[in-house]
């Protein structure tokens, strides 16, 4: 049974709600050149920093459960940390451990997918994000699976590559292909083992949709990976070169392609009796293709004849629904989250974002748990995202989110409100600097409206972020910090998250003397949970990471 929270003698709940505003992808840049947060017009964030308690928080690497501090944070692990109040080993770390110890290859799921391919003399297909960004997947994991398949006696492996250019440099896919082809040449040498790249395409064009925002992406991926239908090329390297020249798209947006052999036939369609592994460890962009393979009832697009395969995910992507039914590595066991504790104390809660981050402020925030802890106490609202390139609408749905939060504040129905503005992250990923500036300015304008509503209601607001992105829009040389340039001399755009800290502001205009004049330095975003508990009048559990509030009255 969940323990009860202790009422605080130091902090007392304000008359209005406690609001947690997460500015997705808004960090504190290391370099002025390329920092769209710094160059944007942000009078409200500037005023918060100048006039109210402020600190910076760690939001990457080991501070959010990733293997090393060279690993950028992301929205999944960021919202896990914020909502769970502690740091759990995340997908990348868990898969690394499972491979290093051999536990992955000793597990039943791996034995089932490889055993099926051996018994039926069929192919093992590996589908996933083709990079070492370590946000959804890692090339080392893919290579380990290929080697493990060979050792298990599998004779044919087909790899379906989802090109990144989002968590890594925007036009680096050819480098990963070149490296992987060298690896394949080595592993294919002798003894009849045959591993090939079979298909691919940009991750924002095919397969890796999330939250049901655009099922046509998944339909294109199904047609490409499973049916082997689409534009054909003799190699992945040729496909990337030609499609870049024709479309001028960066990797994440490249169209789909199918690899054919000398006979002109696809080298790796997925057919009956094959095995399939989705080697992404992160779940949000793996759920929909998993559903296409596993669900008997499937209304989202016409799959045609669904092949009978043995399917597994790298990890379990949804523990509540048991998706997928077979997985290679167990996910982190997250419990006793902020939301669960607050529901247990009768706290009324409201959570909101638009489609792109709705699952983060609900599912990931609640420790990878779908649904609510208490239907009577919790309300969730999703604002439908536009289906178009985010640089074309950098304001996204921030105004609509703000409208709904203001209505929630004014209703008096909620004690704790959490929201996510996706702009800094989703627009930052496009690499379009001017759009990223507008995205940050949009969030700043919306914060002004929230501040007014919070002040009027006698509430308190924490403003922070889950990781950086818009704060680091140019590629920099690691040693010198100099901006890298394109061939025409323009700055080379960066589309990945940053390794930078994020801001944290405490806005308590109704009773500023109730809290410390400064927030504790040196902590991570996991400390936001204990801070929210304090602001709501509770002491945090002893095993939670420390609150940012040092004193109270």
Which pair of structure tokens corresponds to residue 234? 């003799």
Sign of the dihedral through C-alpha 174, 179, 181, 184:
negative
Q: Say how far apart CA 272 and CA 307 lie, in whole Å.
A: 5
Residue 187 CB-density burial (10 A; 0-12 exposed, 13-18 middle, 19+ buried):
middle
Q: Say how far apart CA 489 and CA 500 lie, in whole Å.
A: 26
Q: Say how far apart CA 383 and CA 222 lie, in whole Å.
A: 27
C-alpha to C-alpha distances, 309 to 224, 225, 294, 389, 445, nearest whole angstrom: 17, 13, 9, 34, 51
Q: Which helix (H) or strand (E) holds 460?
A: strand 460-464
Report helix, strand or coil for 369: coil
Looking at the annotation, which residues are catalytic? 75
Report helix, strand or coil for 47: helix
The dihedrals phi and psi of 272, each to the nearest 5 degrees, come to -50, 140
**8 Å CB contact between 52 and 71:** no
**Long-range contacts formed by 455-459: CB under 8 A, 24+ apart:** 455/509, 455/510, 457/15, 457/16, 457/17, 457/409, 457/410, 457/412, 458/14, 458/15, 458/16, 458/510, 458/511, 459/14, 459/15, 459/16, 459/17, 459/18, 459/19, 459/409, 459/510
Kind of pairing, strands 257-259 and 232-233? Answer: parallel
Q: Say how far apart CA 356 and CA 373 lie, in whole Å.
A: 22
Which pair of structure tokens corresponds to residue 203? 């991750």
């Amino acid at each position: 049974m969940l323990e009860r929270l202790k009422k605080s003698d130091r902090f007392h709940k304000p008359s209005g709600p406690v609001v947690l505003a997460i500015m997705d992808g808004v960090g504190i840049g290391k370099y002025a050149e390329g920092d769209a947060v710094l160059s944007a017009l942000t009078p409200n964030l500037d005023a918060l920093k100048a006039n109210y308690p402020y600190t910076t928080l760690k939001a990457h690497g080991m501070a959010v459960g990733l293997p090393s501090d060279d690993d950028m944070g992301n929205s999944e692990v960021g919202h896990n940390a914020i909502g769970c109040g502690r740091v759990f080993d995340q997908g990348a770390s868990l898969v690394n451990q499972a491979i290093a110890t051999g536990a992955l290859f000793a597990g039943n799921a791996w034995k089932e997918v490889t055993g099926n391919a051996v018994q039926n003399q069929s192919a093992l297909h590996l589908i996933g994000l083709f990079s070492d960004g370590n946000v959804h997947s890692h090339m080392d994991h893919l290579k380990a699976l290929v080697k493990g398949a060979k050792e298990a006696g599998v004779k044919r492996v087909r790899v379906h590559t989802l090109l990144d250019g989002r968590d890594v440099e925007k036009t680096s896919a050819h480098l990963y292909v070149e490296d992987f082809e060298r690896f394949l040449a080595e592993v294919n040498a002798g003894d009849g083992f045959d591993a090939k790249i079979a298909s691919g395409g940009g991750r924002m064009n095919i397969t890796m949709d999330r939250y049901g925002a655009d099922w046509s992406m998944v339909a294109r991926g199904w047609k490409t990976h499973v049916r082997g239908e689409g534009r054909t090329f003799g190699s992945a390297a040729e496909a990337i070169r030609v499609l870049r020249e024709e479309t001028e798209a960066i990797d994440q947006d490249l169209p789909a392609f199918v690899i054919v052999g000398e006979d002109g036939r696809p080298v790796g369609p997925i057919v009956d009796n094959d095995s399939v592994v989705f080697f992404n460890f992160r779940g949000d962009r793996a759920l929909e293709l998993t559903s296409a393979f596993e669900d008997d009832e499937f209304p989202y697009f016409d799959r045609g004849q669904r092949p009978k395969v043995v399917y597994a995910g790298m990890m379990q992507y949804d523990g509540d629904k048991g998706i997928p039914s077979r997985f290679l590595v167990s996910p982190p066991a997250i419990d006793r989250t902020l939301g669960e504790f607050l529901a247990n104390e009768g706290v009324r809660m409201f959570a909101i974002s638009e489609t792109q981050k709705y699952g983060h402020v609900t599912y990931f925030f609640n420790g990878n748990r779908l649904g609510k802890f208490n239907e009577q106490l919790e309300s969730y609202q999703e604002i439908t995202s536009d289906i178009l390139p985010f640089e074309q609408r950098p304001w996204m749905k921030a105004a609509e989110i703000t409208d709904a939060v203001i209505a929630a504040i004014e209703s008096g129905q909620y004690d704790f409100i959490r929201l996510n503005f996706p702009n800094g992250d989703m627009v930052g990923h496009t690499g379009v600097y001017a759009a990223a500036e507008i995205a940050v300015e949009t969030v700043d304008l919306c914060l002004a409206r929230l501040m007014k509503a919070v002040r009027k209601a006698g509430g308190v607001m924490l403003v922070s972020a889950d990781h950086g992105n818009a704060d680091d829009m140019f590629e920099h040389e690691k040693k010198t910090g100099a901006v890298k340039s394109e061939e025409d001399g323009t700055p080379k755009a960066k589309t990945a998250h940053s390794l930078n800290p994020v801001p944290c502001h405490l806005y308590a205009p109704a009773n500023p003397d109730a809290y410390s004049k400064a927030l504790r330095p040196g902590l991570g975003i996991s400390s936001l949970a204990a801070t929210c508990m304090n602001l709501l009048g509770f002491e945090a559990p002893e095993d939670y990471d420390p609150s940012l509030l040092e004193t109270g009255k």
